[in-house]
């Protein structure tokens, strides 16, 4: 068996998330179907991140073991012919047989885009908050609170297999353009719904002069403020990059 890594992009609006599910179209399910058809046997995959229904990715990494001696370019061409246009194979790499795209990753970056005006053309790719007046300055004041090591228990959907809520945020920014607001964040790991709850809560409270103090209390796990946490919709969320130690994917590092 040879181990390969796919670097893929996808439009998440037509999928029930990344993870394979029975009776639902998922990105992992489509990738495994295409690879299995090529190999004439069942091929299992591991993804670097799990994205929810409606969430998009510009660079998602996937590893799998393949029974044939094919070059990366041959695999790229073969799998592309079997995939719909909402998944793109950016690149294929050969790796060591013990390489794991999930455990070798040292960070991930997400972007969340908020439209100032909803249109028929951006409704699946940007979020819109007509009920809230977004104040950029108020949100920017909260960003330093997110930096470094924090417990994000109040900003995630809990799972039984989750033993810690600690993440280390290495970069965070909030930009405004003529047509949209853009939230960007990089961390060593992300919990389920973490980005959507962080940006949703800050947007919801950005017109409140106490937003800085409220975010500080939430990060301190003060349950008095837990009811103020708000999960933003998936439209507008993009997995931008998965970060690996230097040397693993030099072409990707150049383009990242």
**CATH 3.30.70.660, the chain: domain bounds:** 107-239
199, containing H or E segment: helix 194-205
The β-bridge partners of 4 are 64, 94
| pLDDT tens per residue, range 42-94 | 999 999 999 999 999 999 999 999 999 999 999 999 999 999 999 999 999 99
| Residue 221, both tokens | 């796990």
| Residue 201, both tokens | 């809560």
- pLDDT confidence band for 142 (50 / 70 / 90): very high
| Residue 60, both tokens | 């998602």
207 is known as an active-site residue: no
Q: How many CA atoms lie within 13 A of 197 on its CB side?
A: 20
Residues comprising the chain, all counted: 256
Q: Which residues contact 72 (CB under 8 A, 6 or more apart)?
A: 4, 91, 92, 93, 94
| Residue 122, both tokens | 């951006």
| pLDDT tens per residue, range 53-62 | 999 999 999 9
Q: Tell me if the pTM is above 0.75.
A: yes
Burial grade of 225 (CB within 10 A; 0-12, 13-18, 19 or more):
buried
| From 11, 52, 65, 188, the catalytic residue | 52
What is the architecture, at CATH level 2, of domain 107-239? 2-Layer Sandwich (3.30)
**CATH 3.30.70.580, the chain: domain bounds:** 2-104
Q: What topology does CATH give the domain 2-104?
A: Alpha-Beta Plaits (3.30.70)
């Amino acid at each position: 068996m040879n181990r390969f890594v796919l670097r893929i992009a996808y439009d998440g609006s037509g999928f029930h998330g990344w993870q394979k599910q029975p009776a639902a179209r998922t990105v992992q399910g489509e990738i495994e179907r295409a690879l299995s058809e090529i190999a004439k046997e069942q091929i299992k995959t591991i993804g670097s991140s799990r994205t929810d229904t409606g969430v998009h990715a510009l660079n998602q990494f996937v590893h799998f073991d393949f029974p044939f001696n094919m070059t990366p370019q041959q695999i790229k061409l073969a799998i592309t012919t079997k995939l719909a246009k909402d998944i793109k194979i950016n690149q294929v790499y050969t790796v060591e047989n013990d390489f794991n795209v999930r455990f070798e990753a040292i960070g991930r970056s997400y972007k969340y885009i908020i439209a100032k005006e909803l249109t028929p053309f951006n409704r699946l790719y940007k979020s819109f908050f007509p009920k809230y007046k977004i104040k950029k300055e108020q949100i920017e004041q909260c960003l330093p609170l997110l930096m470094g090591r924090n417990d994000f228990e109040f900003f995630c959907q809990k799972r039984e297999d989750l033993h810690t809520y600690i993440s280390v945020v290495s970069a965070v920014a909030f930009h405004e353009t003529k047509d949209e607001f853009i939230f960007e964040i990089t961390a060593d790991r992300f919990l389920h719904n973490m980005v959507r709850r962080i940006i949703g809560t800050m947007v919801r409270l950005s017109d409140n002069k106490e937003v800085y103090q409220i975010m500080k209390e939430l990060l301190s796990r003060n349950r008095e403020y837990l009811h103020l946490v708000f999960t933003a919709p998936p439209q507008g969320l993009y997995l931008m990059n998965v970060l690996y130690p230097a040397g693993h994917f030099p072409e990707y590092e150049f383009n990242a």
